[in-house]
């Protein structure tokens, strides 16, 4: 529900689009809030106690927004790495710049296979696009190379070796706590084990040769690029895992602030709308419109799905106005 509204790819796009537009609302809200020679801090950093009507709701909206803006922006930005479009672009971008998954996964002695997420169906965010190394198939098993999909369904040899690998993971390589173990697929497949603790500094991914049981490679948090480290840390803070209950309470307060901003925003719009009509409020000054347009253009470049939606809204708006003129 949280990531895709149970609607699959379509739901994922809707959630991603909502997050991107929320960032636009933050930027435009700060632009409108910014003090312009107004005396005093009332309505800026604290609500004016004597305010009534729309002024009260404006103060409430502005003050809650300015005190929670950093937390809301953090919540949105740390959620986007898991989004279908922005997350994929971010992952590929950090990998291309050498600040994502470790360089050892690009230039290593063992031949590389498909990306980890493609092969296993899931992976830590940093390792999703990292190619999995391969086992060195002996001549005895090389003849089965064309039957990898069959072996992935039922590979007795792989199943039989699970206990040996599990022992190696916990005893020889000192992996404490929960971990996921994936069986090799085909004669050159590998056993893959990874940990995903609440604190990303403990993340480890280990690849074992399916025939010898030997460790091919280990990748840990210290091996990640700086961007990948920051993203993995942000994701755990986003989910409320890193600091336990305190982390969860901070994120809860942020979510409550979002709800209050939505409610106060709707009330302000309702009070500003033309009397008796569900129309837009009065037109603001051209200077503010130019600033909002600049923010939209910049955000559309940074977030492609947002840019596409802005273009779509602009075209629909033009068509509606054109139809109204022709009437």
Q: Distance between CA 26 and CA 123 in Å, rounded?
A: 32
Q: Can you give the pLDDT at residue 146?
A: 42
- If we measure between CA atoms, which residue out of 104, 131, 117 comes closest to residue 182? 117
Q: Distance between CA 262 and CA 259 in Å, rounded?
A: 5
Q: Can you give the pLDDT at residue 230?
A: 96
18: Cα within 13 Å, side-chain hemisphere: 13
Threshold 0.85, pTM exceeds: no
CB 132 within 8 A of CB 119: yes
Q: Domain coordinates of the chain in residue numbers?
A: 8-83+237-326, 108-223
Q: At what angle do helices 8-33 and 304-326 cross, to 10 degrees?
A: 80
Q: Can you give the pLDDT at residue 292?
A: 77
291: Cα within 13 Å, side-chain hemisphere: 14
Token match 């139809």: residue? 323
Q: Distance between CA 74 and CA 55 in Å, rounded?
A: 28
Residues of the chain short of pLDDT 50, as ranges, are 108-111, 139, 142-153
Q: Can you give the pLDDT at residue 191?
A: 95
CB 260 within 8 A of CB 60: yes
């Amino acid at each position: 529900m949280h990531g895709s509204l149970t609607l699959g790819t379509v739901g994922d796009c809707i959630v991603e689009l909502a997050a991107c537009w929320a960032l636009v609302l933050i930027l435009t809200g700060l632009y409108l809030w910014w003090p312009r020679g107004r005396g005093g801090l009332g309505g800026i950093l604290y609500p004016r106690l004597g305010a009534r009507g729309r002024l009260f709701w404006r103060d409430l909206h502005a003050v809650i927004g300015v005190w929670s803006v950093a937390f809301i922006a953090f919540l949105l930005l740390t959620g986007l790495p898991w989004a279908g479009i922005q997350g994929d672009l971010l992952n590929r971008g950090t990998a291309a710049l050498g600040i994502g998954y470790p360089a050892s996964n690009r230039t290593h002695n063992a031949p590389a296979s498909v990306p980890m997420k493609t092969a296993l169906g899931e992976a830590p965010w940093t390792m999703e696009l990292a190619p999995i190394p391969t086992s060195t198939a002996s001549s005895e098993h090389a003849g089965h190379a064309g039957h990898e999909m069959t072996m992935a369904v039922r590979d007795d040899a792989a199943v039989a070796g699970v206990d040996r690998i599990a022992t190696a993971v916990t005893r020889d390589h000192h992996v404490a706590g929960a971990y996921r173990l994936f069986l090799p697929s085909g004669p050159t497949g590998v056993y893959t084990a990874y940990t995903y603790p609440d604190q990303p500094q403990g993340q480890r991914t280990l690849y074992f040769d399916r025939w010898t049981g030997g460790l091919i490679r280990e990748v840990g948090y210290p091996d990640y690029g700086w961007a990948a480290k920051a993203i993995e840390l942000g994701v755990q803070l986003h989910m409320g895992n890193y600091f336990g209950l305190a982390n969860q309470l901070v994120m809860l307060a942020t979510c409550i602030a979002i709800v209050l901003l939505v409610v106060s925003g709707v009330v302000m719009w309702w009070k500003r709308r033309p009397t008796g009509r569900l129309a837009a409020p009065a037109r603001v000054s051209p200077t503010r419109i130019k600033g909002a347009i600049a923010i939209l253009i910049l955000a559309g470049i940074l977030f492609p799905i947002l840019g596409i939606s802005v273009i779509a809204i602009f075209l629909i708006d033009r068509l509606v106005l054109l139809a109204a003129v022709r009437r």
